[in-house]
Structures are given as C-alpha cells and as structure tokens.
Amino acid sequence: MQLKAPLFILFLIPFYLFSQTKPQDDDMDSLFDDLDDITIKENKEVIATFKSTRLMLGQSTERVKANQLHFRISHVFGKIKGIDNFFGLDNINNMNISFEYGLSDFIQLGLARSNKPDKTYSSSVKLSLLRQIYGENAFPFSLSYYGGLDIKSRTYFPEARNKNFNGRLDYVNQILISRKISEKLSVQLSPTWIHRNLTETVNDPNSIVSIGIGGRYLISGSTSINIEYFDTLDTFDAYELNKNTLSVGFDIETGGHVFQLYFTNAFALHPGKFAINQSGDFFNREINFGFSLLREFSISKKNKH
Amino acid sequence: MKHFPSLILLLAFNVIFAQDKLITRTAKASFFSETPVENIYAENNQVASILLLPKKTVAFNVLLKSFKFEKALMEEHFNEKYVDSEKYPAAKFKGTFNEDIDLTKAKTYANVEIKGQMIFHGVTKPLNTIAEIIVNEDKTVTLKSKFPINLEAYNIEVPALVKDKIAPEIEVIIDATYK
C-alpha cells in the first residue's frame, strides 16, 4: 500500500499536466490553434474566376447561384466606320435580352431573345460539374456544360420553309473549362458544337465545331480586360479564317451590376450564331461596338433584413 | 494513503477546470452596413469561440467565407475584393474581462467590458467592446456584443464606384451560446 499510493500519483501527473497546459498557456496562438481545431471548415472553392457568367459573348464557368436571377441586356451596334453612322451607334445589329436563374448552385436555367437576324428565342441550361478548389485538396480547374436550344421565329419564304418547325431549331453544346491562374489572370477553353437542323444553303454544314479560347486580366478590383476568340474548325467549304469571332473588351463591376463593353466582329449575341464562322471580316475593319448590362436579383426569402 | 485527500482534490480541480473551458462552433456573427443607397446584411452561423472563465478570456475565430449574403454577387465581392478571404481566411479576436462569472447561478452580467485584439485582413488592432454575458438556467452561457469596425483601419479599400453603397463603418453583432 505504501508503494501503490505514490505510483498512483505518478500515474496522474501526465493527466494533470495535460489538462493544465492548454488553459494556462498565455500564448495567443495556442488558443487560436484550439479554435482552429473546432472551427467548421469553409468552402474552398475558387471564386470570382470571371466577373460575369459571360466571358465576352460566350458563356463563362461563372454561374448564377441558387435562387438568384440575372437579368441581362446586351447590344451590338453597327460597323465602326465613319461619322455618318456615328461610328456604328446609329445601327443596332442585335439586341439580346436574357434571364438566367439559379435552380441550385450547380444548375442554371436561361431564357433569351435575340432580335436580329432570326428573332431567336433561346432556352439554355448550364451545369457546373467541377469547381476549381484551393488549399489542401486542390483541384486545378472548373468544368461546366452549357446546352441551348434556339428557335428561330422569323417569317421564312417560301411557305413550306415557314411551316417547317424542325428547320427552325438550332442546338448549342459547349464544354467550358476554366482556370484561375492567379488573382488577376483567368483563362478558359470552350469547345463548342452547334447543330442546325436546316441551313440557309445546301453547301452550309449542319454541324459546326469551334473552339473558344479566352481569358481575363484584372486591371483593378472592379475592372478587367477580357479577350475571347471562337476558332471555327476548318471542315467546310464556306470557311473563312477572317470570320472567326474575336471579341476584346472590359468587365466593369459596380456592386450588384456588371457592365461589359466589347469590340467584336460578331453581329449576333447568341452562340448559335457567333460561334459558326458567320461574323464580320475583322481584317477588313468590320468591327462593332457592343455592351451588356447585368443586374442580379435575389429571389430567396432568407437573409432579408 | 495519507495522500489520498489531496489526490481527490487534484482530480476534482481537473474536472472543474475542464468544465470552465466553454466552447461553441455555431456562434453567430452578423454585420450590417447602412447607406442611403443600399443596406448590406450578412450572417455567419459557424463561428468558433472559446470562453475560459478562470482566465476571464474569450476568443473568436470567424471564417469569412462562411458569411452568407442575400445576393450571391455581394458574397463573392466581399470575399474577393474586400476581405480577400483566400489570403486571410479568418477574422480572430481574443480579449479579457474583469467580471467573475458564477456558473452555478443563472444570472445576467450586463456591461462586461472586454479588452482585446482583433486580427482581420492581416491587420492586428486593439478592440474594446461591451458585452452581455448570461448564465442560462440550463447551465449554458450566452455572450452578446455589438461593435463597429472601421474598414479603413483594417486596410479594406472601398472603390470610388461603390463608395455610396458601403458604409465606412460597419456594425458587427456577436451572439454566442457556449456549452
């Protein structure tokens, strides 16, 4: 018995020390270490790869989050040539109105209308399949799928063409792969496949594949320079290198709005048109000015204050 | 066996000590920025906090990415442009107070002065605030406090374009219940 009691005490000493060290430690860091251990970890998804859900004319991997609604109006004006038409601003080549809604953080649904040239109604879905992640379990890129169905509602001649509903449909399929390389620099690759049920002439191919490449560079917290090029694959007779779509411009973000200003040889603002080698000739100064204005609305009921 | 009483004392002390380290991982932090143009409100329900009653010390760890905003774009801008949460993931605070908090009796201690240091956006600054500490009937402890944070003091720049939408001083509300 005389031996056991001191042994027992010896046994307790580490126990005692252990429970004492942490509270007794005055070091600020150790308390913060304890706090770090109990903190529920945050989401490590890379955010703000681009300022907007459009890189320029084409979709970016940015998404409309759950219960948010994006309303966007885009314009592209006429050719910047001479004061007669006030450098193209007298003519509107195309106006596009779109609504995009976030069903969840990973599913975005959209409806849009472009006036010229085909009075096109578009419905779309964008699925955010993979997100770039930083930190311990890093993942190098984001990947989204964008699919669209365009319905051309204009009047066609002859009557038979006008009645051919299937002939009014175009399909858009895009894989969007992006990487935020640094705080300022992000790049994107967008392989695109457009299928048109009926083309304007028999020589035009129904299916056209193009590769969108682009990126952005932040020049200040609120402004970035963006560039986007859709390189249509040279698989058909009517292919002209000069008519691939090149867009260069700015994103300017002011709180709930994002403005995009661009110079482009495209005359249409929906991918079913600008990604199929039908833009102006950018080597012949057929360049247009355009802009888009995005406003975000929150449909969610929680967090109202 | 003559050591036995002291042994029991030692053990009992240990147990009491352990109970006096109160923790929570679901404390609430919210902030409010009010301007004539726009009101911005955000809430974080995943704040970790430790309350050490014997040391009269309280500490908070607030992960900035866990703040939820009404508008998703605002949340993104908050993290990307203002607090730079990838670089500075958390706001941390540690402070001390003078009151003796008795856990055995339900009681409200109003006007507890907490003096401490706040680390936020890579800047460490003294922060003093008044808190209310409540010992609840169910032996839980609630701490509530409200204090302003000056954005400029923590090197948070508000671009000229949105100056009229974001208040230079935002009000932070802390509401933590410890077990």
Residues of B in contact with A253 (CB under 8 A): 77
pLDDT tier, A237 (very low <50, low <70, confident <90, very high otherwise)? confident
All residues of chain B having their beta carbon less than 8 Å from the beta carbon of residue A6 are: 3
Q: pLDDT-based confidence at B1, cuts 50/70/90?
A: low
Asked if A44 and A133 touch (Cβ cutoff 8 Å), the reply is yes
Q: How confident is the model at residue A302 (pLDDT cuts 50, 70, 90)?
A: low
Q: Which fold has domain B24-178?
A: Lipocalin (2.40.128)
Q: What is the average pLDDT score of chain A?
A: 87
Instruction: Please tell me the predicted confidence (pLDDT) of residue A22.
Output: 44
Q: What is the pLDDT, as a whole number, of residue A290?
A: 94
Q: Cβ contact (<8 Å) for A303 and B68?
A: yes
Residue B124's pLDDT is 95
Exposed/middle/buried for A36, CB within 10 Å: 0-12, 13-18, 19+?
middle
pLDDT at A305 over 50: no
From start to end of B121-158, where are the E strands?
123-135, 141-150
**How far apart are alpha carbons A123 and A130 in whole angstroms?**
22
> Best residue in A20, A31, A69 to probe B by mutation, most B CBs within 10 Å?
A31
The amino acid occupying position A221 is G
| Average pLDDT estimate for B12-33 | 77
pLDDT at A158: 87
pLDDT of residue A241: 87
Query: Residue A152's pLDDT is what?
Result: 94
Instruction: Return the pLDDT at A86.
Output: 79
Residue A109 to chain B, least CA–CA distance (Å): 16
Does B17 contact A at CB distance below 8 Å?
yes
| Distance between CA atoms of residues A156 and A177, nearest Å | 37
DSSP one-letter code for B14:
H
Tokens at residue A199, please? 């083309």
Minimum CA–CA partner of B118 in chain A: A28
Q: Which of A24, A42, A184 to mutate to test the interface with B (most CBs of B within 10 A)?
A: A42
Nearest-by-Cβ selection for B59 from A8, A19, A35? A35
- Kindly report, residue by residue over B110-135, the tens digit of the pLDDT: 999 999 999 999 999 999 999 999 99
Per-residue pLDDT reduced to its tens digit, B155-178: 998 887 788 888 889 999 999 999
Q: Nearest by CB to A256, which of B71, B157, B159?
A: B71
> What is the C-alpha separation between A95 and A100, in angstroms, rounded?
16
| Contact check, Cβ <8 Å, A254/B32 | no
Token duo for residue A277: 């080698």
B94–A contact, CB cutoff 8 A: yes
Question: Which residues of chain A does B39 touch, with a Cβ-Cβ cutoff of 8 Å?
Answer: 305
pLDDT the model gives residue A221: 82
**Structural domains of chain A in order of their starting residue, each with its CATH number:** 4-38 (no CATH), 68-298 (2.40.160.40)
Chain A contact present for B144, CB below 8 A: no
Q: pTM of the predicted model, to two decimals? A: 0.83
Q: Which residue has the higher pLDDT, A65 or B6?
A: A65
**What is the rounded distance in angstroms from the CA atom of residue A37 to the CA atom of residue A43?**
16
Give the pLDDT of residue B159: 80
Candidate from A40, A42, A222 with C-beta closest to B89: A42
Interface test with chain A among B73, B121, B155, by most A beta carbons within 10 Å: B73
In this complex, do B72 and A38 lie within 8 Å of one another by their Cβ atoms?
no
Decide if A5 and B77 are in contact by the 8 Å CB cutoff.
no
- Write down the pLDDT at residue A27: 54
Residue with tokens 């374009």: B161
Q: Which residue from B115, B121, B128 is spatially nearest to B91, judged by alpha carbons?
A: B121
Over the stretch A243-294, which tens digit does the pLDDT of each residue have? 899 999 999 988 778 999 999 999 999 999 999 988 888 878 789 999 999 9
DSSP result, B30-54 = EEEEE-SS-EEEEEEEEEEEEEETT
Domain range summary for chain B, segments of one domain joined by + = 24-178
CA distance B37 to chain A (A): 11
- pLDDT tens by residue, B79-97: 988 999 989 999 999 999 9
* 3-state SS class at A292: strand
Q: Find the mean pLDDT for residues A43-64.
A: 94
- pLDDT, tens digit (0-9, with 9 covering 90-100), for A153-194: 999 988 888 999 999 999 999 999 999 999 999 999 999 999
Q: What is the pLDDT of residue A246?
A: 95
Give whole-number Cα distances, B152 to A213, B122, B139, B158, in Å. Answer: 39, 13, 40, 8
* B70–A42 CB contact, under 8 Å: no
Question: What is the reported pLDDT for A91?
Answer: 82
Sorted by sequence, the CB contacts under 8 Å of residue A188 that are 6+ apart come out as: A50, A55, A60, A61, A176, A177, A178, A179, A212, A213, A214, A215
